[in-house]
Structure 1
């Protein structure tokens, strides 16, 4: 059981790193500074349906599973 949890945690950890690295940066950089950056657009109104929102939800899900596995492994020892 302990070996299974270690392997599962390793797989989830690698997946979590990959999902975090796939997410775009949250800053606009210099282009946001020049143009103002806070304009209302179609993208900002439908942000919950984009791939960024999906990646964010997957990140939260994997982090919770990773934390639960850590706690279970600690209780098993």
Structure 2
């Protein structure tokens, strides 16, 4: 069981790395930081498509990573 959890942890970490690297940045330089706050305030967010799928994959991978880590620590 410990080996299976370690393999799952490795897969979850690779999924996290890939999904985070594939996501695009929120802002571009100083001008992006100024307008980025207004876009976030008024709800201009990409809620469909590629970015939404990557966001869900990242959240799922993070949950699996944390759960596997906690179980592995409890087993030790």
TM-score normalised by L of structure 2: 0.75
Are 2:72 and 1:70 equivalent residues in the alignment? no
Give the whole-Å Cα distance in 2 for the aligned partners of 1:13 and 1:53: 19
Give the whole-Å Cα distance in 2 for the aligned partners of 1:32 and 1:46: 14
- What runs of 5+ residues in structure 2 fail to find an aligned partner? none
Q: Runs ≥4 in structure 1, deviation > 3 angstroms?
A: 28-33
* CA RMSD of superposed structures (Å): 2.5
Report how many aligned residue pairs link the two structures.
Answer: 70
Displacement after TM superposition at 1:8 (Å)? 1.0
User: What is the match of residue 14 of structure 2?
Assistant: 14
User: What is the match of residue 25 of structure 1?
Assistant: 25
- What runs of 5+ residues in structure 1 fail to find an aligned partner? 34-38
What does the per-residue CA deviation read over 1:33-76, in whole Å, with 9 as the maximum and x for residues that have no partner?
8xxxxx98xxx867211211111111011101100000111111
TM-score normalised by L of structure 1: 0.74
Give the whole-Å Cα distance in 2 for the aligned partners of 1:60 and 1:9: 14
Larger radius of gyration: 1
